[in-house]
Amino acid sequence: MKIYSLRNSTCRFAILASVIASPVMFNPALAAAQDGPVSNAQSAPQQDDKARLDEIIVTAQRITENVQKAAVPIAVVSPDTLRKAGVVSPDNLTRLVPALTIASTGGSSMSLFLRGVGNFTLNSTFDSAIAFNYDNVYIPRTSATTGFFYDLERIEVLKGPQGTLYGRNATGGAINILPVKPKLSETSAFVNGSYGNYNSVTLEGALNLPTGDDGAVRISGNLSTRDGYLTDGTSDQDLKAVRFQIMQEIGPDLTVRLAADYSAIRGRGPGATYLESYQFNGAGYTETPSLLDPSIGLLDPRSQAYRRQFFVVPAGRFLNDLEAKQFINNDHYGVNAEINLRTGAGELTIIPSWRKSEQEANTSTLPFQNYNNTQDEHYSIEARFAGDRVGIFDYTLGGIYYHETQDELYVSNQQTLYAYTVYHLKTESLAAFARITANVTDTFRVVAGGRFTHDRKSSDNSFSDTVVIACTTLPTPCLNAPLFNLVPDASLLGISNLPPQGPGGIVPYIDGNGVPQPNVLIIRSPVTAINNSVKKDSFTWRAGVEFDAGPQSLLYATVETGFRVGGLQPVIGFESFQPEKITAYTIGSKNRFWGNRLQLNVEGFVWKYRDQQIAAVGVDGTGTTNFFVQNVGKSTSYGFEVDAQVAATRTTRIGANIQYLHAEYDRFKYDQAVAGPAAPFVGCPTTLGVNSGGNPVYSIDCSGKPSFNSPRWTFNANISQTIPLGSYQIVASADTQYRSSRWVGYDYISGMKQDSTWQSNAQLQFEPVDSSWFIAAYVRNIEDDRYKVNAVNSASSSLISVTTNAPRTYGVRAGVRF
């Protein structure tokens, strides 16, 4: 295995030539393989001899409609595709949706990017640019999104701002996770399981039972366990989840559904490896590759020996080993309901919800030790009314109230620096929205929509406390100077004369036994506290036209705006940040030809961002490595996407999806405090100056650089071939994805650039014609390439760590349904 190597290109192009189909907008139900419940996104295979594509029903625009009639850029992933691809968490979606990049960044955190828009890390102080919705309920923290990927009806990925129908911060897009609902008057069940290398075990099932003629209950569950992909046992999986739903038709016009779910995530969590180190040589920086295989985790003895080679300032000594106590201990649970009332004027839908997350994690992927303990609770209620047509007008009206409280303890141990941060945050949001469609003729429509949103974010004594070890004899080292261990409170650092919290101070180091440490100082920064609130009223809108060019051809053009609320953070020099805004222009065409045997969809887009928020590991106003968000300026993204799928024969399905993306920062400037004697190590021009407090800072200008995680070209392809064998059949399927080079780290350091990559997968499935059971063999990441998905620069240690994709995995799957 080798990081970002484009292995045997001839072999890859041979695979590509023989595998021409898309796993995203391609409907896997058309292949005769079916191993879960039939749903709207996945109708039963055709029983006649005609080759044709089936209908996919979505609710992305808060109404039920054929995806080919929905004038929005959308990718739909069916449950069959999810199971075949082994999707059990959001980061697995990257290989299925060309526009999407999701990566685990350590502990429970994930970074989400859609067409180059997103953040490298997410903490309590800010929100994702990609709204994540489960069962029509907004999930604010990506760390709480893992336990939903089972017994699903479909996943919808909306691209671009959702400024009128979605209530929270959807400047880049939205991911809608929709579970299978109870089926009235039906007794049914299914069980699917798999076993693979790395001792991977998955088990998924559901039971649907009627409660009379007008009601039903559905119980679903999921289990997924796996040994770590890395040699230190990290990047493992230990997930258990369960969901209960009950639905009742109370009368001919009223239906009520109640749902509750719980998920538990354990194990060691995501891991990383050392990519390289760097050193200032007087004129610039020299990068030296670590030469460690990407399978060698940071807690492996080989990585620990590598780490001990590096001298760090200001302590004036070599690093210690990372502490081998990485773990995840997360519990997520919630209750929600959906009430649908049919009236004489239209349909009213009310969705109340309550969710809570309790998360504890210790991680080392950055590459330093971090601990967090988080309590997140939120509730919301949404009401919308889809009115019957009045004259030429269709309309949707609605409103939503959202309330979230967050309490988090976050500890960062960089050995020479100890940072202790406490968050007490509250978010309230109230929004009203409307969308009106004027049916000017039978084939031409004009659409207008708007949303008014009032947001308030407040902080109640959130604060950050930082302690630094400093050697007074530099450049002569202090080789015996102590380094910090990870402890839950600064009082446990073993320092008898620690300056008081609040004002801070500088004192000689005296250990817990009262013994002075020669030439070593303890520096405690003044506490940064935030007791404040910010309010923002925003109006976003959408305008568009739609034209039915034929019975199965749609042309559309839209202009839409969106915003992401600003916020507060206890970070010196970056105590607040402003809202992010976007204007998006889209033109598209959706078509079916050849008697429903060929589908061709084309979309062109231009996205313009202002005050764009970027969240990553950086250096704050004191020169301390920290997590925070900045408004970096403006960016422009434009490109096109073409999706095609073909029912070549009754048993052959082929498709392809290609995306071209040009994403660039028009203005990307920020300041970074001086953390040492040299300029910061970044791949952008720097200028030395002073900040408002008179302290030296470097102005960094990355304007003109490509947006992060924005490959210029992305190509997905797959094929499914059914081979009849009397009362049985074999279904052979394969897919591949190509992504051109992209930046996967915040600092534009050369090692943070990932070269172009291929990844291919294949499966062979045997089943009866009625698909009542199946057995299959699979292999994923046939090339066994371990490419970079996230890179982090630790300025305190001059080390860069990376997380990588999963290695080659293989195994068997089986299932039965009743």
**Residue 266: per-residue pLDDT:** 95
**Is the separation of the CB atoms in 259 and 245 below 8 Å?**
yes
Domain spans, the chain: 9-466+527-817, 467-523
> Taking the CB of residue 18, how many other CB atoms lie within 10 A of it?
11
Q: Per-10-residue mean pLDDT for the chain, 818 residues long?
A: 42 38 35 36 45 85 88 90 86 87 77 84 74 92 88 93 78 92 96 97 97 95 96 95 97 96 95 94 89 96 96 90 91 97 96 96 88 93 95 95 94 89 92 96 96 91 89 90 89 90 89 90 87 88 96 96 85 81 95 94 96 75 70 91 95 95 92 72 88 74 94 95 96 96 93 95 96 96 94 89 95 96
Ramachandran sector of residue 500 (left: φ over 0; alpha: ψ -120 to 50; beta: rest): beta
Residue type, 28: P
User: What are the pLDDT digits (tens) for 334-370?
Assistant: 999 999 999 999 999 999 999 999 999 999 888 888 8
Token pair, residue 243, equals 């969901």
**Residue 121: per-residue pLDDT:** 66
| Architecture in CATH of 9-466+527-817 | Beta Barrel (2.40)
User: What Å distances lie between residue 199 and 194, 225, 427, 785, CA to CA?
Assistant: 10, 8, 42, 20
**Residue 81: per-residue pLDDT:** 87
Token pair, residue 25, equals 């907008």
H or E segment and range at residue 420: strand 417-439
Token pair, residue 23, equals 């796993």
- The CA distance from 171 to 152, in Å, is 25
User: What are the pLDDT digits (tens) for 698-736?
Assistant: 888 999 999 999 999 999 999 999 999 999 999 999 999
In sequence order, the 6+-apart residues with CB closer than 8 A to the CB of 381 are 350, 351, 352, 353, 400, 401
- The CA distance from 723 to 708, in Å, is 43
- The CA distance from 482 to 469, in Å, is 8
User: What Å distances lie between residue 709 and 172, 523, 636, 663, CA to CA?
Assistant: 13, 38, 14, 9
User: What Å distances lie between residue 260 and 333, 336, 723, CA to CA?
Assistant: 7, 6, 41
| Closest to 271 measured CA to CA, from 214, 227, 315 | 227
- Contacts by 305-311, CB closer than 8 A, 24 or more apart: 306/274, 307/274, 307/367, 307/797, 307/799, 310/277, 310/797, 310/798, 310/799, 311/477
DSSP 94: G
Residue type, 21: A
**Residue 689: per-residue pLDDT:** 82
DSSP assignments along 326-339, one per residue:
-EEEEEEEEEEEEE
